[in-house]
């Protein structure tokens, strides 16, 4: 199947090397038939999550029931806590669907990721306000802020919610089951900082709302970054588990937490031994199965597992490894993005990574070609699988597809992996009728997650959310 595609033919390879690559290609390439079956299951899991709490796809009500109009004006603050960074932002809405923002970025320290997270966040907010002379004094009212929290939270109101579990490498003890807004509010209090968290949103909800501020056709927000997930507007009539009051709009944004798809029985996604190995050694085994095949946190590690599998059979690097290559997570997913499009005649960019970053001398041209094929197979499988969630969600609301629909997308995989957008769109087009498909507009919602939290803070302040 694979060798028909010349991209998987390694010039100068031994028959054993080519056979191993062909086998990998057959594991990583997915037919439409296979994808169709996964989409069907995804839809079934969505329905399950809409009906009952605690299912694999959590379909969490966000308490956001409105759409911004685009005419709202003013400056709003937000904290955006993602998988790698923390940003504090001041976002100014111009009333014509446009925003400007000023932000400060802080890298999450290892200590913050494993212990002191909320004190670290409070400290960063303090720094941001202090450096801009914005810190409220004495009797001044607290500054309202939106919080984007990119982990699964069971929301209990627009500004409260309990952490379901950590994902994406964070593991701060004592937080699961507790209200994350309370935890942050307490940390802010410890610093004597007059800040009130008025809105709590998932990053996908933020991405959707930031797209919606500039475009009334926005229906769905997606992150393909360190992790992956999506949010969309659902008709509350379809949300059987919802016990709250019916919103006047009749709609509710749902945080799908789709990264968990297929985590319970591993029955539908195309697991290879390299995926299973990653899962076993991760800090959250048997969780986030879909996310582990798609997102930036994991793809480099899948590639590393393949590299070692080949090296151990002496089919790559003459059987050599290095201390760095032996260490988990040592292949950053960004190397896949650059390796997949290394068009230099001697694959010199890949050579740099092998020799300088991984510290393995004297790679051959065959070795480098194999690295490139691995970068393509792992990355393109991710892009193809990403279409599964997109198609399942859009066809779930196919009532909307008869007019223009915008899907706002953010995240490093979408932005940087070559042709991610094109592969996603091309794959999705095989599963949605052409006359509806032409109405769908996939757009980059750059920095949407933080801007969206500020917009939610605005919604909470202006309309009582």
- State the catalytic residues: 87, 150, 203
**222 in Cβ contact with 425 (< 8 Å):** no
CB of 151 to ligand GLC, least distance (A): 5
Q: Return the number of the residue (101 or 204) whose C-beta is nearest ligand GLC.
A: 204
Taking the least distance from each CB to ligand GLC, the nearer of 198 and 222 is 222
Q: Exposed, middle or buried, 127 (CB in 10 Å: 0-12/13-18/19+)? A: middle
C-beta of 236 vs 294, nearer to ligand GLC: 294
* In the complex, least distance from residue 207 CB atom to ligand GLC, rounded to whole angstroms: 9
Token pair 């507009």 is at which residue? Answer: 441
Contact residues toward ligand GLC (CB under 6 A) are: 83, 150-152, 167-168, 202-204, 223, 225, 227-229, 257, 259, 291
Q: CB neighbours (10 Å) of residue 402?
A: 10
b/e 244-282 (16+ beta carbons within 10 angstroms → b): eeebeeebbbbbbbbbbbbbeeeebbbbbebbebbbeeb
Which residues, other chains included, contact 232 with Cβ-Cβ below 8 Å and sequence gap of 6+?
208, 219, 220, 221, 253, 254, 256, 393, 397
In this chain, which residue has its C-beta nearest to ligand GLC? Answer: 227
Q: Give the span between the Cα atoms of 371 and 316, in whole angstroms.
A: 9
Q: Which is nearer to ligand GLC, 302 or 353 (CB)?
A: 302
Q: What's the closest the beta carbon of residue 293 comes to ligand GLC, in angstroms? A: 12
Query: Helices 448-463 and 203-214: crossing angle, nearest 10°?
Result: 80
Cα–Cα distance between 87 and 136 in angstroms, integer?
A: 20
Query: Least CB distance from residue 420 to ligand GLC, whole Å?
Result: 15
CA distance 347 to 325: 19
For residue 185, the minimal CB distance to ligand GLC (Å) is: 20
8 or 233, CB closer to ligand GLC? 233
- Residue 227 or 379: the one with the smaller Cβ distance to ligand GLC is 227
In the DSSP assignment, the letter for residue 157 is E
Instruction: Give the nearest distance from C-beta 229 to ligand GLC in angstroms.
Output: 3
Q: Are 454 and 436 in contact (CB under 8 A)?
A: no
What is the rounded distance in angstroms from the CA atom of residue 238 to the CA atom of residue 358?
51
């Amino acid at each position: 199947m694979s060798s028909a595609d010349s991209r998987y033919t390694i010039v100068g390879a031994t028959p054993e090397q080519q056979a191993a690559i062909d086998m990998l290609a057959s594991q990583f390439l997915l037919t439409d038939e296979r994808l169709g079956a996964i989409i069907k299951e995804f839809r079934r899991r969505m329905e399950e999550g809409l009906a009952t709490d605690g299912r694999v796809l959590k379909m969490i009500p966000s308490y956001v029931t409105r759409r911004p109009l685009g005419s709202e004006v003013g400056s709003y603050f937000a904290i955006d806590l993602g998988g790698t960074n923390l940003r504090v932002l001041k976002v100014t809405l111009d009333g014509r669907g446009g925003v400007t923002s000023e932000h400060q970025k802080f890298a999450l320290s290892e200590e913050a990721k494993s212990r002191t997270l909320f004190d670290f966040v409070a400290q960063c907010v303090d720094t941001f306000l202090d450096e801009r002379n914005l810190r409220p004094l004495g009797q001044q009212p607290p500054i309202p802020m939106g919080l984007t929290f990119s982990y699964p939270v069971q929301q209990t109101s627009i500004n409260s919610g309990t952490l379901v579990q950590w994902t994406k490498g964070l593991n701060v003890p004592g937080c699961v089951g507790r209200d994350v807004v309370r935890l942050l509010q307490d940390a802010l209090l410890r610093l004597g900082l007059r800040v009130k968290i008025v809105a709590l949103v998932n990053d996908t909800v933020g991405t959707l709302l930031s797209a919606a501020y500039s475009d009334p056709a926005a229906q769905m927000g997606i992150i393909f970054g360190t992790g992956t997930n999506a949010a969309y507007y659902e008709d509350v009539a379809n949300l059987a588990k919802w016990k709250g009051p019916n919103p006047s709009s009749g709609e509710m944004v749902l945080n799908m937490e789709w990264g968990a798809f297929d985590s319970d029985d591993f029955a539908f996604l195309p697991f290879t031994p390299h995926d299973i190995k990653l899962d076993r050694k991760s800090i959250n085994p048997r969780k986030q199965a879909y996310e582990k095949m798609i997102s930036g946190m994991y793809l480099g590690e899948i590639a590393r597992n393949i590299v070692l599998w080949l090296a151990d059979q002496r089919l790559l690097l003459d059987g050599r490894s290095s201390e760095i290559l032996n260490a988990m997570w040592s292949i950053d997913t960004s190397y896949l993005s650059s390796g997949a499009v290394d068009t230099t005649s001697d694959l010199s960019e890949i050579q740099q990574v092998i020799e300088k970053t991984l510290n393995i001398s004297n790679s051959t041209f065959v070795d480098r070609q194999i690295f490139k094929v691995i970068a393509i197979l792992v990355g393109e499988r991710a892009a193809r699988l990403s279409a599964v969630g997109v198609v399942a969600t859009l066809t779930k609301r196919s009532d909307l597809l008869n007019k223009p629909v915008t899907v706002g997308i953010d995240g490093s995989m979408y932005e940087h992996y070559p042709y991610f957008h094109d592969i996603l769109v091309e794959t999705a087009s095989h599963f949605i009728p052409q006359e509806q498909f032409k109405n769908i507009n996939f757009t980059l919602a750059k920095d949407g997650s933080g801007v969206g939290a500020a917009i939610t803070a605005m919604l909470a302040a202006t309309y009582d959310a």
